[in-house]
Structure 1
Amino acid sequence: MVERYAVPDHQWDMIADIVSPPQKMGRPRRDDRLMLNGIFWILCSGAQWRDLPERFGSWKTVYQRFRQWRDDGTFEQVLSRLHLRLRQDGLMDLDTWM
C-alpha cells in the first residue's frame, strides 16, 4: 500500500533515471525517492518545511534537494517525460494543453 502523497512503484520506474541518476563519487545521498515523497508531502499538504514528518529525514535535506532539482531542471525533465508518455498513451490532447 502506498502512503498518501507517495510515488507508487510504476510511477517511480518512469522517472527514476532522471531523479536518481547513478552517483559516481562522494558520500552516498539520501534516498531520492524518499526525498521526492517528502517534497510531495509538503506541496500537497501545504505545510511549512519545518513541519515535515521525521520519516522523510531532515526537512533541511528535503528542502535542499527540492531547490537543487528546481534549479538544475530536473523537474522540467520529469514533466517533459510525463507529457510525452501521456501523448503516446493518447491521454493528452496538445490542443487543450496550456
Structure 2
Amino acid sequence: MSDLFWLSDAQMARLEPYFPKSHGKPRVDDRRVLSGIIFINRNGLRWRDAPKEYGPHKTLYNRWKRWSDKGIFAQMLAGLAAGHGEKTTVMIPSRDIT
C-alpha cells in the first residue's frame, strides 16, 4: 500500500506529553504504532489487515487496547481539542427540522 499514514515530527511532539511513562522494557517505536492505529481506524480495517510497515498487528492492537483502557487516547483528544478556540458546542442536525 502506497497510501500509508505517518505522523509528522510536529504531530508527535504534540502527542508526546500524553504518553504514559515506560515501565520495564522500552516500548516499540511510538510513531510507527500510533500511525498504524490511526491508519486502521481511519480505513475501517481489521487489525490483522494492517500493512506490514506498521509492524505486527498484535502490537498495534495491544497498544490500542492498553492505552484505551487507561484513557490515554481520550486524554490526547481532550488535550488537543482544548488548544483550539471553540468554546461552544456546534451541532448539526442529522435531518431537516422544519
Query: Paired residue for 1:30?
Result: 28
Give 1 or 2 for the bigger CA radius of gyration.
2
Correspondence for 1:96 among 70, 90, 93: 90
Report the TM-score, using the length of structure 1 for normalisation. Answer: 0.78
Does the aligned pair in 2 maintain the 1:38–1:62 contact within 8 Å? yes
Report the TM-score, using the length of structure 2 for normalisation. Answer: 0.78
* Structure 1 pair 96–8 and aligned structure 2 pair: CA distance change class (3 A): same
Ranges of 4+ aligned residues in structure 1 off by more than 6 Å: none
Query: Paired residue for 1:82?
Result: 80
How many pairs does the alignment contain? 90
Q: Deviations over 1:8-28 (max 9, x none)?
A: 221211111212x443x4222
* Structure 1 pair 97–51 and aligned structure 2 pair: CA distance change class (3 A): same
Question: Share of identical aligned residues, percent?
Answer: 33
Distance 1:58 1:68 in 2: 16
Structure 2 residue runs of 5 or longer lacking an equivalent are: 93-98
Distance 2:52 2:4 in 1: 15
